Amino acid sequence: MIRYIIAVAFVSGTIMITPSLSEAAQPAQLMVGNPSGRNVAFSFDQGGNGGNAAVRIETHQVGDPGAKLSIWIDHSRSRLFSRILTTDDCKYGDNGAQCQFVIDRKSPDYRRFVIAFKLGKTAHIEVQNAGAMQMSNDISLVGFGRKLGSRS
C-alpha cells in the first residue's frame, strides 16, 4: 500500500514538473511592429531539445535584399547591430518579403545581444531600403530580461 502511494505521488509530481521543464526550453520572443503587418521578430533560443542556442531575427513585410536593418539599445550612439540584408537572408511569398538570419551562440554578437536585451530599457529597430524608411519602431525591454532568465 505504501509503495502504491509513493508511486502515485512520484507520477503526480513528475506530471506537474514536466510542463515547467518544457516551458523553460521555449525561446523568449519579442516582436516589434504590427503582428498582422510589418514587423521584426526576435527569438532568443536557449538551445533546448538538443538544438544550438541562438538569436533568430525575422522580418515580415519589411526589408528585402539590399535593405539595412539597424538595432540599438537606449540612447547608445553606437549600433548594437547593423546589417545589409542579402538574397540568402530573404524569400518572397504571398505576404511579401520575409528575411531571416540566425546569430549563433558561438558568434561574438550573440552575447552582446543577450546582455543588451537583458539590461536595456528600450530597443530601437530600423529598416531602411534605398535610403527610404520602411520601418522605425521602439519597444520597451522592461521585464523582458526575466523572460531571458539566466540565458547567456
What is the per-residue DSSP string for 115-151? HHHHH-SEEEEEEEETTEEEEEEEEE-TTHHHHHTT-
Taking only the tens place, the pLDDT of each residue in 104-134 is 989 989 999 999 999 999 999 999 987 788 8
**Computed from CA positions of residues 51, 38, 115, 142, in that sequence, does the dihedral angle turn out positive or negative?**
negative
29 sits in which H/E element: strand 28-33
pLDDT at 48: 60
pLDDT at 132: 83
- Strands 122-129 vs 68-73: parallel, antiparallel or unpaired: antiparallel
Within 13 Å and on the Cβ side, how many CA atoms surround 43?
A: 14
Distances, alpha carbon 45 to alpha carbons 38, 102, 108, in Å: 23, 10, 16
pLDDT at 17: 36
Distance CA 117, CA 123 (A): 8
Distances, alpha carbon 77 to alpha carbons 74, 81, 120, 122, in Å: 9, 12, 14, 14
Q: What is the CA radius of gyration of the chain?
A: 19
CB atoms within 10 A of CB 18: 10
pLDDT at 93: 80
Report the chain (152 residues): mean pLDDT per 10 consecutive residues: 47 38 68 90 77 88 90 92 93 85 91 92 93 90 84 46
pLDDT at 95: 75
Q: What architecture does CATH give domain 27-148?
A: Sandwich (2.60)
